[in-house]
């Protein structure tokens, strides 16, 4: 397999590197990385992606698949912090003239791994989300499978979105119950206010603007940002939260 791979060393945040990587490329997978040190969400998504969008057009890349968030076309997508900037990133890529698909995601099941310490030490996990708000959540493996399918399919054209919603809508209370059943002890969910959440983010080194972008995102999710996308056979992905807990979270809690 490695014999079929050409490695371009460097960061895809470097305009020269991304230009060399796009030369001769037929399809590109695009993922803007987290950057808690950034001065704004616009910097993380739009400014970071602009050199790549120019390279896509310059080198005649035919298809681009990018990871983004749910929220396009909803009443909350314009004031949703990181989500709003991620959607603007997609607009920038689409404007380059490539055929484009945005893989639109709700919150990741994988995010719960950030709470391994509090689950082990306090039998609880803490988020801003309304405890009774049922919303989709997706496993990263299913996001990867969808992106890979799109990258290998050379028949689609134009710009569009492909949602990945997991197999069911769950509230944080539901998630706490399932985690409890999987690991064999009672785990609780505790909602924290935005001010406390932001203080925790900035206390860990995140810039004020990026922390506020996180707060704005979760406030939009509490207003229904992730619930507007209709669930269809195509948008329903296979990995259940219980399966993810058994295969990923439980081993992480044991380490």
Model confidence over 43-80: pLDDT tens digits? 999 999 999 999 999 999 999 999 999 999 888 778 99
* pTM of the shown model: 0.95
CATH superfamily of 2-254: NAD(P)-binding Rossmann-like Domain (3.40.50.720)
Rg (CA), the chain: 19
**Which is nearest to 102 in space by CA: 88, 121, 115, 81?**
88
What value, to the nearest 5°, has the Cα angle with vertex 68 and ends 159 and 20? 75
Q: How confident is the model at residue 227 (pLDDT cuts 50, 70, 90)?
A: very high
Q: Give the mean pLDDT of the chain.
A: 96
What pLDDT does residue 4 have?
Answer: 80
Mean pLDDT computed over 143-154: 97
Tell me: the pLDDT tens digits for 118-130? 999 999 999 999 9
Beta bridge partners of 170: 135
What pLDDT does residue 136 have?
Answer: 98
Tell me: the pLDDT tens digits for 81-109? 999 999 999 999 999 999 999 999 999 99
CA dihedral 85, 87, 92, 97 (to 10 degrees): 170
Here the tokens at position 25 are: 């490329």
- On whether the CB atoms of residues 57 and 98 are closer than 8 A, the answer is yes
- On whether the CB atoms of residues 146 and 237 are closer than 8 A, the answer is yes
Q: How confident is the model at residue 1 (pLDDT cuts 50, 70, 90)?
A: low
- On whether the CB atoms of residues 45 and 32 are closer than 8 A, the answer is yes
In this structure, the number of other CB atoms found within 10 A of the CB of residue 120 comes to 13
């Amino acid at each position: 397999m490695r014999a079929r791979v050409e490695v371009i060393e460097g960061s895809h945040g470097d305009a020269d590197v991304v230009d060399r990587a796009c030369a001769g490329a037929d399809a590109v997978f695009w993922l803007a990385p987290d950057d808690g040190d950034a001065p704004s969400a616009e910097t993380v998504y739009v400014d970071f992606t602009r050199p790549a969008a120019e390279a896509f057009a310059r080198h005649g890349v035919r298809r681009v698949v990018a990871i983004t968030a749910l929220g396009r076309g909803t009443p909350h997508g314009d004031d949703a912090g990181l989500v709003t900037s991620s959607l603007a990133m997609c607009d920038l890529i689409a404007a380059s003239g490539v055929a484009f698909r945005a893989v639109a995601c709700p919150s990741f099941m994988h995010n719960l791994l950030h709470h391994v310490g509090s689950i082990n030490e306090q039998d609880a996990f803490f988020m801003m989300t309304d405890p009774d708000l049922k919303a989709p959540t997706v496993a990263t493996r299913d996001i990867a499978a969808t992106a890979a399918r799109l990258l290998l399919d050379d028949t689609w054209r134009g710009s569009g979105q492909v949602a990945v919603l997991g197999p069911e809508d769950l509230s944080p209370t539901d998630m706490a119950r399932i985690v409890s059943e999987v690991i064999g002890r009672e785990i609780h969910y505790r909602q924290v206010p935005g001010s406390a959440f932001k203080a925790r983010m900035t206390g860990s080194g995140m810039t004020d603007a990026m922390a506020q972008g996180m707060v704005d995102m979760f406030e939009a999710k509490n207003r229904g940002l992730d619930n507007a996308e209709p669930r269809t056979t195509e948008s329903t992905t296979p990995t259940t939260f219980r399966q993810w807990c058994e295969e990923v979270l439980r081993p992480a809690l044991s380490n």
